[in-house]
Amino acid sequence: MSFIRGGLLSKQTIITMEYRHLHLLKKQGYINGEWVNAKNNGSFPVLDPANDKVITDVPDMDASDAKAAVDAAACAFKTWRDTTAKERSSILRKWFDNCQKNTEHLAEIITAEAGKPMIESKGEIVYGNSFLEWYADTARHINGEVIPSPWPNKHIMVTRHPLGVVSIITPWNFPFAMITRKVGALLAAGCTCVIKPAEDTPLTALAAVELALQAGVPKGVINVITSSRKNAPGVGKVLCEDPQVGCISFTGSTNVGKILYGMAAKGIKRVSLELGGNAPFIVFPSADINHAADQAMLAKFRNNGQACVGANRFLIHQDVFDQFVQCFKSKIQDRCILGPGNKEGVTCGPLINDAQVKSVSNLVDDAVSKGAKVLVGGKIAKSIGEKFYESTMLINVKKEMKIYEEEIFGPVAVCLKFKTESEALEIANSTKSGLASYVFTKDLGQAFRMSRQLEFGMVAINDGVLSSAEPPFGGVKESGIGREGSKHGAEEYTDIKYTLFSALDK
């Protein structure tokens, strides 16, 4: 996708902006076709991570608002499920068109609340919107089956039916795409939803939903609960346990995913969980090293490393280790330009919040205290601001360091050396996570062996970016359950029904 490839490979012009110029800035939650405040009248501030200024306040909704939203979605489901696939497709297409026309406005909101450089924010709109376009088409192809029957005069028909109300809980790192990927799919399938965006990034969700309404999404079909971290557990309990909810679709940390999965289990509800990753990026001696280092820039520094598919461990064959490290290091020094996302030329913005800064700093400090060597970066860029962490590269990393096995979720590249293919595989697979993995080799047999033996839901051969609307996105092991994007993403929101027709004799 151009967004992912653009920022770190070339410099672009960025328009500066102020919050007062933000279009589509909504300041209320959205329930049953109305923009509403919290029943408790509470609110919380949404901050710009580049400078900690308040962009606006939004309602701090709690469990009672969540219940109202679920009730609205359940009521709307009664009619939405009976719309034709063609009608749903047409609404999704209009939503796609609206987002496309408003790319700049949506991107400005992402940059303001998530801190991304404008080039990446615009790219996220292109990427996120591709799910709406894809599901506008897919809506008309969620097919059933007629299976040859083992009995004479009997027919087996298999049909797909929407699950009902879907609870959507999304993270701050892709505040637009994580919503369109889920909501596009579930609307196509005939479901309705309640969205709970992250405390840090509710404004993108509200703007996206405003454009959905303008596209003709009927009242109650999409509802949005804005809540602070304090109220998230109460809201989450309703979204997971209310009997009217048929499915919980979550993207975020593995820890929270486990909590939600536990609550969903009480009602035997369907779950779709996209959780943490710990992606290996493996470079074999036959690889084109310059290309591998270019792709490493994308796999590591997209959204400043705050991505579940972000490369977490660079496993480099000993024969090309020095060459790769040198090449990667000089690209980091040339292309990672730290600063506020609305400043021209910036390619790496702030981390989202203080917790992220602390988590990344702790991992690096722990590694350095145990002997890791910093080749680039290694600390907070205090002259720019407290949330700006320098793009960093570490070598001499050992097993006893936390960074060796934890998900970094920040702009820190850790390079490790291996000797053999089996050693690379063993290190790569020695994690509870199994989301994305990257392999660089020109040896076709090796590429197939790695594809087969890597215990990951996604394997990219000779590429650093694998996300798009067409393939199934998702992980194995503790990285989650289910797939998003592709036709599988819509099928996640359906149940299969088998009907037996027995032809009565005259």
**Catalytic residue ranges:** 274
Binding partner at 184 among ligand NDP, ligand GUA, none, C-beta below 5 to 8 Å by kind: none
What is the C-alpha end-to-end distance of the chain, expressed in Å? 61
Cα–Cα separations (whole angstroms), residue 319 to 323, 327, 418, 423, 447 = 8, 14, 9, 14, 18
Closer to ligand GUA by CB, 240 or 299: give it: 299
From the list 320, 114, 75, 314, the residue with the least C-alpha distance to 204 is: 114
Binding partner at 59 among ligand GUA, ligand NDP, none, C-beta below 5 to 8 Å by kind: none
Provide, rounded to whole angstroms, the least separation between the CB of residue 2 and ligand GUA.
Answer: 14
Closer to ligand GUA by CB, 71 or 199: give it: 199
Closer to ligand NDP by CB, 306 or 441: give it: 306
CA angle 307, 315, 302 (to 5 degrees): 25
Cα–Cα separations (whole angstroms), residue 90 to 39, 272, 450 = 34, 26, 42
* Candidate list 173, 312, 342, 391; residue touching ligand GUA; CB under 6 A: 173
307 near ligand GUA, judged by CB under 6 A: yes
Read off the DSSP letter of residue 455: -
Provide, rounded to whole angstroms, the least separation between the CB of residue 363 and ligand NDP.
Answer: 10
- Report how far residue 154's alpha carbon sits from residue 225's, in angstroms, rounded to the nearest whole number: 48
Q: What amino acid is encoded at 117 in this protein? A: P
From the list 166, 172, 229, 233, the residue with the least C-alpha distance to 204 is: 172
Tell me which stretch binds ligand GUA (CB under 6 A): 47-55, 160-168, 304-312, 441-449: 304-312
Closer to ligand NDP by CB, 198 or 338: give it: 198
From the list 110, 260, 99, the residue with the least C-alpha distance to 174 is: 110
From the list 130, 172, 241, 191, the residue with the least C-alpha distance to 471 is: 130
Closer to ligand NDP by CB, 419 or 432: give it: 432
CA angle 391, 392, 397 (to 5 degrees): 160
Binding partner at 283 among ligand NDP, ligand GUA, none, C-beta below 5 to 8 Å by kind: none
- Report how far residue 472's alpha carbon sits from residue 494's, in angstroms, rounded to the nearest whole number: 16
309 near ligand GUA, judged by CB under 6 A: yes
Pairing of strands 311-317, 245-251: unpaired
* Candidate list 24, 308, 336, 460; residue touching ligand GUA; CB under 6 A: 308
Task: Identify whether the C-beta of residue 283 lies closer than 8 Å to the C-beta of residue 320.
Answer: yes
Q: Which residues pair with 154 in a beta bridge?
A: 502
What element of type H or E holds 327?
helix 321-335
Closer to ligand GUA by CB, 115 or 378: give it: 115
- Report how far residue 292's alpha carbon sits from residue 290's, in angstroms, rounded to the nearest whole number: 5
Find the binding residues for ligand GUA in span 219-258 (CB under 6 A).
251
Q: What amino acid is encoded at 90 in this protein? A: S
* Candidate list 3, 95, 174, 440; residue touching ligand GUA; CB under 6 A: 174
Count residues contacting ligand GUA (CB under 6 A)? Answer: 9
Closer to ligand NDP by CB, 23 or 358: give it: 358
Binding partner at 300 among ligand NDP, ligand GUA, none, C-beta below 5 to 8 Å by kind: none
Provide, rounded to whole angstroms, the least separation between the CB of residue 410 and ligand NDP.
Answer: 8
Binding partner at 170 among ligand GUA, ligand NDP, none, C-beta below 5 to 8 Å by kind: ligand NDP
Binding partner at 467 among ligand NDP, ligand GUA, none, C-beta below 5 to 8 Å by kind: ligand GUA
Backbone phi and psi for residue 21, each to the nearest 5 degrees, phi listed first: -90, 0
Binding partner at 309 among ligand NDP, ligand GUA, none, C-beta below 5 to 8 Å by kind: ligand GUA
Closer to ligand NDP by CB, 144 or 472: give it: 472
Q: By CB under 6 A, name the binding residues for ligand NDP.
A: 169-173, 196, 198-199, 227, 229, 232-233, 236, 251-253, 256, 259, 274-276, 308, 356, 359, 407, 409
What is the number of other CB atoms lying within 10 angstroms of the CB of residue 190? 24
Tell me which stretch binds ligand GUA (CB under 6 A): 60-68, 166-174, 234-242, 349-357: 166-174
What element of type H or E holds 159?
strand 154-162
Task: Identify whether the C-beta of residue 37 lies closer than 8 Å to the C-beta of residue 59.
Answer: yes
Tell me which stretch binds ligand GUA (CB under 6 A): 303-311, 338-346, 376-384, 443-451: 303-311
126 near ligand GUA, judged by CB under 6 A: no
Q: How many residues are recorded in the chain?
A: 506
Cα–Cα separations (whole angstroms), residue 171 to 278, 311, 352, 424, 494 = 17, 19, 11, 31, 24
Closer to ligand GUA by CB, 171 or 340: give it: 171
Find the binding residues for ligand GUA in span 442-471 (CB under 6 A).
467
Binding partner at 464 among ligand GUA, ligand NDP, none, C-beta below 5 to 8 Å by kind: none
Residue nearest to ligand NDP according to CB distances in the complex: 236
> Interface with ligand GUA by CB under 6 A: which residues?
171, 173-174, 177, 251, 307-309, 467
